[in-house]
Amino acid sequence: MSGVPADALCIGAVRRALAAWLHILPFDDACRADVVLAVYEAMANVVDHAYLDTDGVGTMQISVTFSMDDGTLDVTVADLGQWKLPVHNALRGNGLRLVAALSTSSTVDRSPAGTTVRARWSSTAPPRPEPAFH
């Protein structure tokens, strides 16, 4: 999807569409939940960081592909903005770490032309261990 508005309402709609589409793929419920949360975090980063110095709403490009050959799901979320840190808040700042923790692999590329977050999941990877709560 190209030209998706970097707006909180739009990313909610994309999240719901992605969640519905993932049910046709060979991933378990936990992995599907990880994908939805990680992609939402990447999109929220665009909303929160990419276009802070502009009037109006910027856009993002979202690509989601699944390879039947090797069972991998690749997601790319890219913006054309300039990365800006919002006012410091100790409860924030974990979105990209969360993307990395929830995916099989991920990268973040920042340049003057924008930021691109790529994440991959493998349907053949062993399940991520559940956290232990005490």
In this predicted model, what pLDDT tens digit does every residue of 37-81 receive, in sequence order?
999 999 999 988 888 777 767 899 999 999 999 999 999 999 998
Tokens of 69: 């050959």
The pLDDT value given to residue 84: 72
- Taking only the tens place, the pLDDT of each residue in 23-39 is 999 999 999 999 999 99
The pLDDT value given to residue 8: 86
Domain range list for the chain: 4-122
Mean pLDDT of 80-87: 74
The pLDDT value given to residue 33: 96
Region of 57 please: left (phi>0), alpha (psi -120 to 50) or beta. beta
pLDDT at 111 over 60: yes
Question: What's the pLDDT band for 101 if we cut at 50, 70, 90?
Answer: very high
Sheet holding 105-111, edge to edge: 4-5, 59-67, 72-79, 114-122, 105-111
DSSP 69-109: TTTEEEEEEEESS-----S--TT---HHHHHHHHSSEEEEE
Q: What is the DSSP letter of 5?
A: E
Q: For the domain 4-122, what is the CATH superfamily, name and number?
A: Histidine kinase-like ATPase, C-terminal domain (3.30.565.10)
- Give the integer Cα–Cα distance in Å for 35 and 102: 7
Element (H, E) at 45: helix 29-45
